[in-house]
Amino acid sequence: MKYQMIADTLYFYFYGDFDNLKICNLKQICIDLIENYEPAVVKMDFEEVSFIDSTGIGFVLARYKQLKKMGSELIICNLSRTNQTLFHMSGVFQIIAYERNGVKL
């Protein structure tokens, strides 16, 4: 994972498999970055993610809750078609905004 803070927005760029093992390693890092930077907006970029499952959806929903408590917003970016299907199925887009493109590293 890579990240950058631009103005009031924290960008996360995820890579490869976004599965149970990967999220175990990433979760605390993301929690700490959000707490430290206190961004108004977090954008999660999934363009380079080749695989995601319900563990990934759980992670996204948990960060949404973390940000909501801070009064901040989460935006998901650049999901593949299959990954979009998964997020749709879970009803994620009813509460979390989605956009294509965004700021690249």
Partner 1 sequence: MNEMTMRFLSRLENESFARTSIVAFLMPLNPSVEEVMEIKTMVAEALTNAMIHGYEGKGDGWIDVSVSYDETHTIDITIQDQGCGIENIALAMQPLYTTKQHLERSGMGMTIMSSFADDFHVESSLGNGCIVRLRKQLHEQTENALQ
- b/e for 78-103, b at 16 or more Cβ within 10 A? bbeeebbebbeeeebeeebeeeeeee
Only one of the segments 1-9, 34-42, 45-53, 67-75 lies at the binding site for partner 1 (rule: CB under 8 A); that segment is 45-53
Binding flag, residue 90, partner 1 (CB under 8 A): yes
Give phi and psi for 32, each to the nearest 5: -65, -40
Binding flag, residue 29, partner 1 (CB under 8 A): no
SS3 7: coil
Binding flag, residue 21, partner 1 (CB under 8 A): yes
What residues line the site for partner 1 (CB under 8 A)?
17, 19-21, 24, 27, 51-55, 57-59, 61-62, 81-82, 86, 89-91
